[in-house]
Structure formats: C-alpha cells, structure tokens
Structure 1
Amino acid sequence: MHLILLFLVIPLYLLVNLVQTTLHHRYLLSIPGPLITRFTKLWYFNRVRLRGFERDNIRLHEKYGPVVRIAPDHYSIRDRVAVRTVYGNGSRFAKSAWYEGWKHPDPNRWTLFPDRDIRRHGESRKRFASLYSMSSLVHYEAFVDNCADILAQRLRERDQCGSTLNLGHWFQCYAFDVIGEITFGQRFGFLDQGHDIEGTITALQSLMTYSTLVGIYPEWHPRLFGILSWFKSSGAAGRAYIMQFVQDKISSHAPYSPTQDDVEGRAPKAQDFVEKMMLARDKNPEKVTDYHLYMMGLSNVVAGSDTTAISLSSIMYHLLHNPEVLAKLRAEVDSFTTLGRCSPRVTFKESQEMPYLQAVIKEALRMHSATGLPLWRVVPAGGAEISGYRFPEGAVVGVNTWVAHYDEEVFPEASTFQPERWIEAEQDPERLRLMNDMYMPFGLGSRTCLGKHISILEISKLIPRLVRDFDFTTSTARWTTENSWFVKPTDFEVQVRARLDSKTERLRAE
C-alpha cells in the first residue's frame, strides 16, 4: 500500500512542480540544460552529492553555452556583464534560500555569511569591518608568525624521520591555529598535536556537507535539524558542536589588562578579535551586543580555516607540478633574501613587493578556488535582463567561481598554470580589468568574504618562507578533491627536506 502511494505521490509532485515552473518561468523554457532539470532539483542534488560539481558546472557551460538550467528555477550564468549585475556593489540580488542551510533554523539566530537580509547584513558588516581591514593586518602578523614557526618545526621533524605527510591537513592545522590566535588570543593546538582535536575538523566537515545539501531543499532544514542533532556523526550535530565550541571559547576568554604589562615592563601584546569586540561592546552595548561577538567568532571558525588551507594547498600543488614556476619563484625569494629585503619571518610588506609571488598566488587561486558551487542570488522585484533572457522576480541565478575562472575568452588556456598572464596583463589595462572582473576567489561586491585580507596575510607570509626554507616532492600525479561547497584536497601527500642556506641560518640566529 505504501509503495503504491509512493508511486502516485512522486509523479503528482513532479507534475505540480512542472506546472508551477512553466507558469512562473514560461519565458525561460528555451534555456538549455539536462532535460530532467526542467522537472526537479534531484539532478542538481545528486551531482552536488557526488562532490565534483565544480567540474560538472564547467562542462555544462561548454556544452550548453553562457546560461544553463541547473534546476527548474535555478540558472547558472557565465557572463562578464552578469557578474557585475548580480554581484556588483549596490546589487539588489539577495542571497537565495540555499543559504538557509548554513544557519540555525531559529530565525532569531542569524549569522553574517548566510544572512539574506541585505540591509541587516550591511549594518552588521559595519560593526566588524575594522577588525578585518587591510590597515589592521600589521597588528596580526605576530599571531601568524607564531603559527608559522610551529609549522616549520613540524616540517623539519618530518624531514628528520623521512616520512610523507598530508600537506593539506597541515595547512588546515596552521590556518585553524592562526584564526584561533587572531580571534581568541590562543591557538586551538592543532599544530602542537598534529591531529583533529576533539573531532573539531570532522564536525566542521559534517556541517559543510549537511548545509550544502539541505540548502538545495531548504524547506526540510527546520524539520531535519532537530532530529539529526541527536546523531553525533550528522552535520546538524556538527553545527551544534561548533556553536558550543565558539561559545565556550568566548566564555573562557580572560579579559585583557594592559596594566599588567605596565607592571611587568612588557610591550603591550596585540589585541585579539574578542578583546576588541568586548571593548566595543562595553563602550556601546546597544551597537555591539554579545550576539555580535558570538557571530564574529562563529564566522571565523566556520570559514576561517578551510578557505586559507585550500588556497595554500593550491599554490603548493601547482608549484610542485610546474617546477619551472617553482624555480622562478624561488629565485625571486632568494634574491630578496640576499638583498636583505626578505626577513626570516617574511613580513606582509615584503611579500607585497615580490611581483612573481603575487602572480603565483593569484593564478593558483584562479586555478583552484576554495568555493565550488554557484553563488546563488534571487532576481529582485521587477525582474532582470541577463545574457539575453528576461528573468522574472524570484528566479535564482548564480555564477560559479570555477566557471568564471575557466572562461577561455577571459583566461586563454585556462587549464594551464601561467602566473605570467597576470604580469603581462599589467601592460594592457583593459585586459587586466577584464581579468579582474571575472576573478572572484573571495566573492564580489558587498558580499565579498570579510576575512579576505586575513587569508591573504596568512598566504603571503607563509608561501615565500616555505619556498625558501624547504624542498617538497610529491609522487601524486593528480590529487583527489571533494566539493562540499569548499573544494578540499584529500590526498596531498608530500615529502619534505629542509633547505636552509648559510645566510638564512645566520639571519635566523640573529
């Protein structure tokens, strides 16, 4: 009986869905895509479930053109003008319901990343902007140096024992501990222990998988979250764990007393985010609340490690598979070191003065961006003209960073790692503008990743240090990745050898 009902309900559901879609999006029936995507989201759900949608999305556009149907009312876009229309500053395209899967079902427990309220997001962002600004980076360098020192020590230990290591894992340990120092004033301890402490990384990955999939059917999120929270291995339980983890860190944070440094004759230490937010809260409790403090901490923990770790992995992966590029970058770093323009603990300012380093970073983040799904947005009231189609209010459109970065018209030979393309484009302002318009590893417009500058700080300081001080080799011809929103490598196995010349050793000793 139940089976009969099931066979009756499913066709009925598909028929109703088709009728609703046809009536609401009748002007878009000519948009191409896999046939099944006209009727159901199941095709998209299944492809995302298989964790390789970034490549699927590129192939769809190669086959069908600049606009592709992904689901009955979801359309993937590959159009330079559309990027500015949908994501540019002042855009009225709000985030889609997919982002509901990234927040607690309670509407009063909103956080910055998934917030779909454009006005509220803008007001909240202003409260945090100064913490993440480029001008604040110099105050965080000591936090980054502390963690880079420990990572370098762990790499020397692996050199001595001769075993391989998963560099992607160690990059996540590094990024997690840096964000711990910057946010809470103390490392989480991943670099010290070298493994997932109390299942935190596992919980975060479960959260990512759950949020990514349930967001495709956001109406199920409130119904599933409470039930799944009882199962420790579920993504819902992972979210609950991360939320409590952040709350515990904030609750145990000791208030900073500058008078103690004065008494003991020490230089004042750099303030972490929690200290700064507490001071702002105490100064103006109506503007900055305890919930804003919690929201900041949660955002840093959820998004602060994966993006940086993936970007670091991409840079080193492409360097190891392009030895001529590695040699050229190493020559630049060694030259700067010889001239006294590159410290043992590379400063952010020094890294910004290395043109080839910056080109390598930019090209690696183009080749392998952290996010691998379309950045879904809702067409606002009045509809919008995009790529020759008139999209009605409520339609969902999005550009996948990978699709933008592999557009052959913007990046010729897009599958080839060519840092020189960025240097050569400096001589052609129009070309450079076009490339930058489609370059979006941290998003675009008002929803650009708030932690972008911190991630760039971590990357810019660590990469030249690794290139100068270590030799890495890998026998992996092509790594394996899994895309659950973040496209993470799973098997970036390398061997490491210390490479410290006499001058660097002398500088370090000083």
Structure 2
Amino acid sequence: MGLLDVILSSALAHPFFTFPAIAVTLLFSLAIYRIHLHPLSHIPGPVLPAVTSLWLWYHSYIGDEASIIHTLHAKYGPVLRVSPNELDISDHEAIPAIYVTKGGFPKAACYSNFDIDGHSTIFSTTDTNYRAPRAKAVVPLFSTKSIRENEAALYGCVDRMVERMKEEKEARGVVNLLNLTRSLAVDAVSTHLFRENYNGTSEKSSKMSASAFVDAFVAVGRFFYLPNSLFTWVEWASEKFFPDEHTNESMTVVDRFVDGLVQNTPAKGSLNYPGRLLELGLLDQTEVKAQCKDLLFAGTDSSGMNLATIFRQLVLHPDVYEKLRKELLDNAGPQKQEIQSLPLLSAVVREGLRISMANPTRLPHVVPAGGWTFKGAHFPAGTIVGCSGYELHFNPTVFPNPRLFQPERWFDATQEAQKSFFAFGAGSRSCIAKNLAMTELYMATERLVLSDVLKGARAVQEEIGIYEWFNSKVVGEEIELAWENRVER
C-alpha cells in the first residue's frame, strides 16, 4: 500500500469525514429513488417537489402555493406531483372519488394542525368515529327549517351592518368592507348558532375585536402541510419568541365571550350549539369551548371574505349592480319570491364565491388501502391527493376569462361548470355551515343593494392581493370603498 493510499484510508476512517459522506450519499440515493423509482415517479412535475416536501412547505409559507401550482398545471397537465407523496389534481372528475363516494377518502393528518386548545374539532379531526356523534348533534341547526325560523334575527344582523356602512360612509367617506363583513359574519354565526349576538357590527373601532383572533387561526395555514410533531414545535416557538399583544388581547375577548356562553348553557334542554354538544355527555366544557371557537373562526373568515368580494365586484360592475337592484325592487311587493330563487342574485352570489378564494388551496385526503386508479394512472395507498378551489374555479377551459366577474355565466351553466364549483368542498366532509353561509350571502347582498348605499362608491385598491394559505389572508387586511360625493353631517 502506497503512502497516498494510507493517507486516504486514514481520512475515510475519520468520523468527521465519513458522516458527511454517508449523509450526502444517502440523500443523493433518496433523491434518485424519488425521481426514478418511487411509485409516483410516473406523475409529471418539477424535479424539486419530487425530491423534497420543502418546496411545498416554502410556497405554502410565503402564500403563493395555489397560483404557482396553477402555472405548473398549465405546463404539466391535470395531475401534478407537488411533493414526494402528494398530488394536486385540477380535474373535477376526481372530486367524487376523493370526497363523495362512500364518504370519500380519509382526511390527511395535517388537518390536525387546526386543532384548538389541544382538542380536535368537527373540522380538524381525521377520525370519523370522533366526528360522527358531534356532527349529528349540531347538524339540525344548519337545516333550512332552523335557519328560516331564525330569519328575523339574521336580518337584524344584516340591517345593522348596512346601517354601520352608511354611518362610516357619511362620517369618513371610506369603508373597509372586510372589517364590516367580518363583523356581520361573526354576528350571524353567534346569533343563529349560539343564540347570543357577539355584536361585532356595533363596535366602533377600525378593526373588530375578534379580527386578530381570526387572523391568528388563518396564519396556521402557513404551516398547514407540516407533520404534526414539527407543527407543534413551530407553534410553540412562534408563541414564545414572537408574542403579539394585539392578538393576545383579541384571544382574551373571544375566550371571555365563549366562556360565558358555555358556562351559561345548561347541559340539558338547550337548543343552541354548545347545548347540543353538552347534551351528548361525551364532551367536557373545555372541548365545547374549542368547538365554538372553531365555528367562530371559520364562519367569520370565509363568509367575511366572500361578502366583501361580492360587494366590491358590484361596485366595479355598476351595470350588474343596477340590474340586480331592479330585480330586487321588482321582488319587493306582496308576491315576493324566495330570494334564493332570483336568477341574477343567485348568479351574483355564485360568481362571487367562485372568484373570492376564501379557501384557495388543496383539500388533501389520503388514498385508502387498495390504491386508486384515476384515468389510467394508479396511485398506491397512502398517497395524498386533493383538489383546490383556485385550480377548479380558474380553469379557463371550464370558465372562459376566469378572472372576470361575469354572473351571467351561471344563467345557463354547463355541467362542467356545475361540477367544478368547489366553494364549500364536497361530500360528507364539506363545510357543515354552508346553508347558513349561503343564506347570509343572499340576505346581506339583498339588503345592501336595496339600501343603495353602494351608489357612487369606487374601489380604492386596483387589485386585492391575498396570501394563499388554507384560509386566504388579504394583504394589508383592507378591502376599501370610497365615496367622493358623500352627504356631510
């Protein structure tokens, strides 16, 4: 053995040399396996997502996940590999298998990152046995019958929001739609489901007291795809090293509201949301509070964003506004029809939901035992698959000029369009509160247009930027309207 051989052998035997070498070799081998030998290696997509989940985590964190995946679908096709074991599907024909048939595929484990105060919720749980009795107990509250019985109270919330807009218009000439619609949303949820109004529309501050609470849960979406153990560490570190006094104050206000609500609800005989859960005998008060907070967050954020989008689009399209106002005025007589049967109002609401992107990203579920074959491609058990509202709603083949607000596209909508509508998800795990949310959208749009408060308004921002997290977050947290010729008091 020569001197050089001896030196190399000694170096290779040194632990500080061999460990990096072995690590690099293993990582290189893993990359080769995932690119060429993995069961999903036949699915098209960029190389980096096939190698590591860091690509997906990064784009989720910075908030451009949905739009960057949209551009990749245009290049690679309807089935796209977005991480080593995860696929994004832009084809509505995948919806029945993933979300509907026999209850659909199980939810992915990352939904548990939306647990609240250590408790799974009806939304976040991946355990159908856990969810079933809780959902069954409260589903009657979301029925058409229950909502109609409480119609007067819901209209009261809407009318207060309209009056608040008039007040701000006359006082300042500028209105932050997002704050007002969130205020209405929290009032509607609490009034109908808790039988106790949060009274967000009565608050005079520039930002509703529950907004920071909602934003804190929205921000969880930055880390949605992280493994549960890693998410727990990140959440702990964020709270410890980056505390936010405003968020803590908002959390305290909401906690106080929910604590009083649950403590004053009897365990037997109450017909409100916490009462129905307590009557099960399965939940202690801390879990009931968590379920109530989950409902407040989801109902406030999504409905607030959807309503603000609809109102802004009506201002941007005065021709649609005037036609809708005429339809509503014509319907105001003694022969008044159900507002959800009005063709233009229905089209406006549906088109607003299509473009608002309250929940833009993928709803990930897990391929069950036996695997799944979709259009000739086989995906093994354990593969994470999902569709997104962003991808389905902005598909130019289904919705020509998809970025444009065109309510008339729903007058004679194609089957493709109907099947691609994904604002509330699909199947048994779709939004439990969609009936209430739709009623709120119809009522609020009707009363606001009839009031004519939007007359003469202009949209302040040319575009509304969003962070594309599980729940979208508006950049700057404002969707503003302004009136130049307002009546001064």
Cα 1:499/1:237, change in 2 over 3 Å: closer
2:422 is equivalent to residue 440 of structure 1: yes
Q: CA deviation at 1:197?
A: 7.7
2:31 to 6, 12, 18: 18
Report % sequence identity. Answer: 23
2:156 is equivalent to residue 169 of structure 1: no
Structure 2 residue matching 1:207: 3-state secondary structure = helix
1:486 to 458, 462, 471: 471
Whether contact under 8 Å (2:104, 2:427) holds in the other structure is no
Amino acid at match of 1:43: W
Question: Is the deviation greater in 66-75 or in 323-332?
Answer: 323-332
**What is the aligned partner in structure 2 of residue 506 from structure 1?**
none
Amino acid at match of 1:66: P
**Alpha-carbon distance between aligned partners in 2 of 1:242 and 1:14, rounded to the nearest angstrom:** 48
2:90 to 78, 82, 100: 78
**What is the aligned partner in structure 2 of residue 250 from structure 1?**
261
Amino acid at match of 1:174: L
Equivalences, count: 466
Q: CA deviation at 1:194?
A: 3.5
Q: CA deviation at 1:56?
A: 2.0
In the TM superposition, 1:279-358 aligns within 5 A as 281=279, 285-286=280-281, 290=285, 293-337=288-332, 339-341=333-335, 350-358=338-346
Whether contact under 8 Å (2:62, 2:222) holds in the other structure is no
In the TM superposition, 1:448-487 aligns within 5 A as 448-469=430-451, 470=453, 471=455, 472-487=457-472
Uncovered stretches (5+) of structure 1, i.e. residues with no partner? 259-269, 343-348, 426-430, 501-510
**What is the aligned partner in structure 2 of residue 44 from structure 1?**
56
Q: CA deviation at 1:479?
A: 1.9
Question: Is the deviation greater in 191-200 or in 84-93?
Answer: 191-200
2:89 is equivalent to residue 94 of structure 1: no
- TM-score w.r.t. the length of structure 2 is 0.84
**Alpha-carbon distance between aligned partners in 1 of 2:450 and 2:105, rounded to the nearest angstrom:** 45
Q: CA deviation at 1:245?
A: 4.8
**What is the aligned partner in structure 1 of residue 482 from structure 2?**
495
**Alpha-carbon distance between aligned partners in 2 of 1:110 and 1:242, rounded to the nearest angstrom:** 22
1:370 to 352, 358, 363: 358
Question: Is the deviation greater in 82-91 or in 182-191?
Answer: 182-191
Uncovered stretches (5+) of structure 2, i.e. residues with no partner? 1-15
**Alpha-carbon distance between aligned partners in 1 of 2:260 and 2:78, rounded to the nearest angstrom:** 46
Cα 1:238/1:225, change in 2 over 3 Å: farther
Amino acid at match of 2:368: P
**Alpha-carbon distance between aligned partners in 1 of 2:464 and 2:70, rounded to the nearest angstrom:** 19
**Alpha-carbon distance between aligned partners in 2 of 1:70 and 1:271, rounded to the nearest angstrom:** 45
Q: CA deviation at 1:316?
A: 1.4
Amino acid at match of 2:440: E
Cα 1:481/1:315, change in 2 over 3 Å: same
Question: Is the deviation greater in 441-450 or in 197-206?
Answer: 197-206
Amino acid at match of 1:273: Y
Whether contact under 8 Å (1:207, 1:238) holds in the other structure is no
**Alpha-carbon distance between aligned partners in 1 of 2:120 and 2:24, rounded to the nearest angstrom:** 36
Structure 1 residue matching 2:39: 3-state secondary structure = helix
Cα 1:45/1:252, change in 2 over 3 Å: same
Q: CA deviation at 1:418?
A: 1.9
Q: CA deviation at 1:398?
A: 0.8
2:400 is equivalent to residue 400 of structure 1: no
Structure 2 residue matching 1:76: 3-state secondary structure = strand
**What is the aligned partner in structure 2 of residue 69 from structure 1?**
81
2:134 is equivalent to residue 124 of structure 1: yes
**What is the aligned partner in structure 1 of residue 7 from structure 2?**
none
Q: CA deviation at 1:82?
A: 1.0
Amino acid at match of 1:48: S
Structure 2 residue matching 1:94: 3-state secondary structure = coil
Question: Is the deviation greater in 408-417 or in 226-235?
Answer: 226-235
Structure 1 residue matching 2:102: 3-state secondary structure = coil
**What is the aligned partner in structure 2 of residue 139 from structure 1?**
149
Cα 1:387/1:257, change in 2 over 3 Å: closer
Amino acid at match of 1:232: P
Whether contact under 8 Å (2:110, 2:228) holds in the other structure is yes
Whether contact under 8 Å (1:21, 1:73) holds in the other structure is no
Amino acid at match of 1:495: A
In the TM superposition, 1:195-214 aligns within 5 A as 195=205, 200-214=210-224
Amino acid at match of 2:309: S
**Alpha-carbon distance between aligned partners in 1 of 2:210 and 2:17, rounded to the nearest angstrom:** 44
Q: CA deviation at 1:234?
A: 9.9
**Alpha-carbon distance between aligned partners in 1 of 2:215 and 2:366, rounded to the nearest angstrom:** 27
Cα 1:88/1:239, change in 2 over 3 Å: farther
**Alpha-carbon distance between aligned partners in 1 of 2:331 and 2:208, rounded to the nearest angstrom:** 41
Amino acid at match of 1:28: L
Cα 1:412/1:238, change in 2 over 3 Å: farther
**Alpha-carbon distance between aligned partners in 2 of 1:83 and 1:105, rounded to the nearest angstrom:** 32
Cα 1:78/1:154, change in 2 over 3 Å: same
**Alpha-carbon distance between aligned partners in 2 of 1:365 and 1:91, rounded to the nearest angstrom:** 24
**What is the aligned partner in structure 2 of residue 27 from structure 1?**
39
1:409 to 375, 383, 397: 397
Whether contact under 8 Å (2:302, 2:358) holds in the other structure is yes
Cα 1:126/1:478, change in 2 over 3 Å: same
Q: CA deviation at 1:477?
A: 2.1
Cα 1:303/1:329, change in 2 over 3 Å: same
Cα 1:186/1:329, change in 2 over 3 Å: same
**Alpha-carbon distance between aligned partners in 1 of 2:19 and 2:59, rounded to the nearest angstrom:** 24
Whether contact under 8 Å (1:206, 1:233) holds in the other structure is no
**What is the aligned partner in structure 2 of residue 505 from structure 1?**
none
Cα 1:497/1:45, change in 2 over 3 Å: same
